[in-house]
Structures are given as C-alpha cells and as structure tokens.
Amino acid sequence: MNWLLQLYPARWRERYGEEFGAVLANQRASVGLVLDVLAGALDAHLYPQIQNSQSKPINGDDTMTLEMLQRCTVGGPKLSPQDRRIASLFMILSALVMAVLYIGLTKIYHAAPAVEALFYASFPALALIYGQTAYLRKRPWLTQIFVLGAGLLALYLVMLAACVIGNKL
C-alpha cells in the first residue's frame, strides 16, 4: 500500500510520508482505503498546505495523527456563527423542498419504492446537507456540489434498494 504515497506531492511526503506510511501499513487493503488515499492525494495537490520546503520536522508528539485526534476530540473544526446559520438555513430549506417533493410525488405515484426511498432518505440527507454546507463552505462550488451530490445519490440509492427489497418480501 505504500505505493500510494507516491501520489502525494513531494513536500507533503517529506513532511508526513513516514508517518502516513506507518498508518497505511497498519490498515487492511480495501477499495475504500484506496479511494480515500486517492482523494487525499488529489486534495493535497489542489489545496497544498505546505508552501515551502523548509517545513518543520516531526518531533515526538507533533504528528499528523495526533493533531487529527486532538482536533476531533474538541468537536472538529470551529465554525463561525454565520457558517452555522447559513448551514442551518440551507438544511431547513432543503427539508421544505424534500417535504413538498415527497407530498407531490406521493399524490402522483402513491407508495412506489422510489417515492418511499425519498422519504426514508430525507432525515439522514438533512444531516449530510448540514455537514457538507458547514464544513465545505470555503471550498469551490464544484467541489461542494460534487461531494454533496455524490453523498445524496449514494444515500438515495441505498434507501431505494432497501425499499425495492422490502416490497419483494
């Protein structure tokens, strides 16, 4: 799995390569892991955070993994009140759109599996919408649309499969 490290920029590998290689060595190989590492490499190329080659060396507790764990234990990235308000407003508007869409489709198609899947996917979709609009707010629109669209599509397809299987039972 260490061959995946070569996909990252050279400066990133200088700073995090040894530690990330150790993390990869402890992981079981899977499609999901490869996709995660590919997405991370793409992000490292598109949004480099290490600007110069004189990055500070890793010393003892100053590791990427420790920084990530500390960040997660204190509630993740800090959101401004404005970011939270915008994400909440977007989530509320999305809930209204989904409710109107569900009611309209139910009147037309009744209890079709595709309509029921929309209903079952609506609550987790709202959590996904809030999270993506809050945490990806500073990313380009194309990135936001792709990540949110892919997540919502995957969620809907899982619910649709469950509804189709449920109707056949």
Give one DSSP letter per residue of 88-102, joined into a string.
HHHHHHHHHHHHHHH
Give one DSSP letter per residue of 13-67, joined into a string.
HHHHHHHHHHHHHTSPP-HHHHHHHHHHHHHHHHS----SS-PPPP-TT--HHHH
What's CA 148's distance to the chain center, in Å? 8
> With a cut of 70, which residues of the chain have pLDDT below it?
1, 50-77
The predicted structure's pLDDT at residue 5: 86
The predicted structure's pLDDT at residue 12: 87
User: What amino acid occupies position 44?
Assistant: A
The predicted structure's pLDDT at residue 19: 85
The predicted structure's pLDDT at residue 53: 47
The predicted structure's pLDDT at residue 140: 85
DSSP state of 9: -
pLDDT digits 0-9 by tens, 23-40: 888 778 888 888 888 888
CB 77 within 8 A of CB 42: no
Q: Which of 136, 98, 96, 134 is nearest to 115 (CA)?
A: 98
pLDDT digits 0-9 by tens, 88-116: 898 999 999 999 999 999 999 988 999 99
The predicted structure's pLDDT at residue 152: 94
